Amino acid sequence: MNKNLERVIEIPEGVEVTISGNEFTVKGNGKETVRSFDMGKVNTEVKDNKIILTAKGATRRESKMIGTAWAHLKNMIKGCGEDFVYELEVCNVHFPMNVKMDGDKIMIKSFLGETTQRVSKVLPNVNVDIKGNKITVSSNNIEAAGQTAANLEKATRLTGRDRRIFQDGIFITTKPGRVI
């Protein structure tokens, strides 16, 4: 069934949203996030401190696009107010692991006694703080922070070994909005 759909997002004080074509720019508190969407038949406009997403005669595709854009824009606006923080923990049972920052990469040495270094990429505009066996990843962009945390977790992934015995690795313990 084709319906007329509309979603509205309130823009808080101190946050500015501009739309140029398919590119959305959210600025506030000295932070800026830019993202482009392929909106298709969805119309977007900023009016009276509100972002209005509308589609006339929307099919399932337009309905999904409105929901996706709505969620991303809410995260972009929320990121202007506060950073998204991921907390990770370095766990080692067998061999002590060394984790150090090196520019835009994190070097993991002596994972399970390996002589080669494992490398994890840090995305731009992401702050990584390493204190002992605790790692904090924060950014105003939830996708960049989440991908950096996932890169760290994936760098210490094990294959071909029993996870019940080899429990070493770097694991996400806290995500924005929930504790694992």
pLDDT tens per residue across span 82-127: 999 999 999 988 789 999 999 899 999 999 888 999 999 999 999 9
Predicted confidence at residue 9, as pLDDT, reads 94
Predicted confidence at residue 179, as pLDDT, reads 67
pLDDT digits (tens, 9 = 90+) for 5-27: 999 999 999 999 999 988 999 99
* Nearest partner of 127 among 85, 171, 76, judged by Cα: 85
The percentage of residues in the chain with a pLDDT greater than 70, rounded to a whole number, is 98
The answer to whether 44 touches 87, Cβ cutoff 8 Å, is no
Predicted confidence at residue 21, as pLDDT, reads 86
* Average predicted confidence (pLDDT) for the chain: 91
Q: Where are the domains of the chain?
A: 3-81, 84-179
Topology at the third CATH level for domain 84-179: Outer Surface Protein A; domain 3 (3.90.930)
Topology at the third CATH level for domain 3-81: Outer Surface Protein A; domain 3 (3.90.930)
The answer to whether 95 touches 111, Cβ cutoff 8 Å, is yes
Amino acid at 46: V
pLDDT at 164 over 90: no
pLDDT digits (tens, 9 = 90+) for 136-153: 999 999 999 999 999 999
| pLDDT average, residue stretch 72-85 | 93
The percentage of residues in the chain with a pLDDT greater than 90, rounded to a whole number, is 72
What distance in Å separates the CA atoms of residue 95 and residue 111, rounded to the nearest whole number? 7
Q: Check if 3-81 and 84-179 are the same fold.
A: yes
